[in-house]
Amino acid sequence: MVGFWRQWIARKRVCLPLGEGAELRQLTLQDVPALFELTIRNRERLRRWMSWVDHVHTEDDTREFVRESLRSFRWGRSLQTGIWLNGQLVGTIGLFRTASAEPEAEIGYWIDEQAEGRGLVTRGTRLLTQYAFEKWQVPVVRIRVEPENIRSRAIPERLGFRLRGEIEEDWADGTRRTLLVYVMHRSDFKGS
């Protein structure tokens, strides 16, 4: 049965070109070592914005994340992609359906410090926004960021997302955080 799923996922794996030697490629179990190493290398700088990094201690933690993302993809609830540049994993962008009352999808992202400033996250976010509108047929895509995370805020602002407002959230690390919520409606999406 495991062999069947590996073959099925290989055929159905989502790959989206970003240009200039870059692409978004759905994460699979083969990517676990690279994703674990990338996470550990970026742990200190990500910790401020993403409390989940402190729960990644071994490759098995990363493997379980990828397994769960593949299960969730089969059920049409999420799509976790790696940002690949010249064959190297340099970040991730995830798309998932929200649990809100209205049907929405949400995008989250992070990138290796050495790959920042190349437009990879902006181009990848644009592609996953288009994917959400076309494949999932959701009317709204949202991105939540902390107000102080200027680089992360620049992505939805650059792509024409509108600031919906602020929300307060309790995070797994016990902190309460304020997040800005940016939204894009299908009718406002201009594509690439």
Q: What is the pLDDT of residues 120-168, one digit of tens each?
A: 999 999 999 999 999 999 999 999 999 999 999 999 999 999 999 998 8
Decide if 146 contacts 177 (C-beta within 8 A): yes
What's the mean pLDDT in 54-62?
A: 87
With 0-12 / 13-18 / 19 or more C-beta atoms within 10 angstroms meaning exposed / middle / buried, residue 187 is exposed
CA-to-CA dists, residue 18 to 23, 29, 120, 124, 174, angstroms: 5, 22, 7, 7, 37
Task: Give bridge partners of residue 174 from the DSSP assignment.
Answer: none
3-state class (DSSP) for residue 28:
coil
Catalogue all structural domains in the chain, each as residue range(s) with its CATH number: 14-188 (3.40.630.30)
User: Dihedrals φ, ψ of 40, to 5°?
Assistant: -60, -45
Q: What's the CA gap between 184 and 104, in Å, rounded? A: 10
Q: What is the pLDDT of residues 17-51, one digit of tens each?
A: 999 999 999 999 999 999 999 899 988 888 777 77
